[in-house]
């Protein structure tokens, strides 16, 4: 959609084609997060076009320890994701994930992980980062599609998150780092996984988070003292500025 709007030379609110495309790729975002010093969980990538060494993968899995998570590289909403609690489940889960994408990740699992998230908007020269929030599921092994969208009361939300102030500040700092390294300009939500020992890891970025008044994004900023109308005004002004800069660029060598 961003590419279509840029072709029409129409201003829009949100991240660019490049940022959103990279943000959809879980492996690329992990690599960029690592580049700016944000921790990620260990993983292996499996591609449909290249047979993988099952014994080697199993040895890696045993070294990491269970649980593991298998997930498509370029999908969201937990579609195609499976939690591996027994090594016998691994290869069937990979085959299942490969029905949704040509590439999948096998990630070291964080059992009983807490999901913490921060919202961010603006551009590199002026960013606003929200308070941290937390989701906790009421049932199931992890936040699968049903818990997120189907089962009423499948999860609880806490804003601000029940974490130490210093940890929240570190997550806010890392949210800005990830947004900037992806050349973000607009808005996004960054998700982290927090283990029982107090270590956290970058999970993923959503470059087009929900923006209704009941969505996570505005609620996170309300906890930071910004109301819904103010956020919308600032996002629209930013979109207009970005559009003006693009239209000022030359399209000819003459």
Residue 79 has a pLDDT of 86
pTM of the model: 0.89
DSSP 143-176: --HIIIIISTT-EEEESS-SS-HHHHHHHHHHHH
Token reading at 210 = 């929900």
Is residue 12 assigned to a domain?
A: yes
Identify the CATH number of the domain in which residue 203 sits.
3.30.470.20
Residues in CB range of 199: below 8 A, 6 or more apart? 39
Residue 21 has a pLDDT of 95
Residue 139 has a pLDDT of 55
Residue 20 has a pLDDT of 95
The count of structural domains within the chain is: 2
Identify the CATH number of the domain in which residue 97 sits.
3.30.1490.20
Q: Are residues 226 and 140 in the same domain?
A: yes
Residue 111 has a pLDDT of 80
Is residue 253 assigned to a domain?
A: no
Collapse the DSSP code of 227 into the 3-class scheme (helix H, G, I; strand E, B; otherwise coil) and give the result: coil
Q: Could you read off the pLDDT of 100-126 as tens digits, one per residue?
A: 999 999 999 998 889 999 999 999 999
Cβ proximity of 113 and 197 under 8 Å: no
Residues of the chain with pLDDT under 70: 77, 137-154, 254
Is residue 254 assigned to a domain?
A: no
Q: Are residues 31 and 53 in the same domain?
A: no
């Amino acid at each position: 959609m961003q590419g279509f709007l840029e072709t029409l030379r129409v201003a829009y609110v949100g991240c660019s084609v490049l940022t959103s495309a990279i943000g959809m790729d879980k492996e690329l975002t992990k690599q960029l997060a690592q580049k700016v010093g944000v921790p990620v969980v260990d993983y292996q990538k499996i591609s449909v076009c290249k047979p993988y060494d099952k014994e080697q993968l199993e040895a890696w899995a045993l070294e990491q320890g269970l649980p593991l998570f298998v997930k498509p590289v370029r999908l969201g909403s937990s579609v195609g994701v499976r939690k591996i609690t027994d090594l016998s489940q691994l290869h069937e889960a990979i085959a299942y994930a490969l029905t949704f994408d040509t590439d999948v990740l096998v990630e070291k699992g964080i059992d009983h992980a807490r999901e913490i998230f921060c919202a961010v908007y603006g551009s590199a020269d002026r960013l606003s980062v929200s308070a941290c929030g937390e989701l906790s599921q009421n049932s199931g092994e992890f936040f699968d599609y049903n818990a997120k969208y189907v089962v009423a009361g499948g999860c609880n939300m806490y804003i601000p998150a029940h974490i130490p102030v210093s940890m929240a500040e570190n997550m806010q700092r890392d949210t800005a780092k990830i947004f900037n390294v992806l050349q973000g300009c607009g808005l996004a939500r960054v998700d982290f996984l927090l283990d029982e020992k107090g270590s956290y890891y970058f999970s993923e970025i959503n470059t087009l988070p929900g923006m209704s008044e009941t969505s996570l994004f505005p609620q996170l900023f309300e906890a930071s003292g910004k109301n819904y109308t103010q956020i919308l005004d600032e996002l629209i002004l930013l979109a207009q500025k970005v559009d003006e800069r693009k239209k000022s660029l030359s399209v000819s060598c003459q």
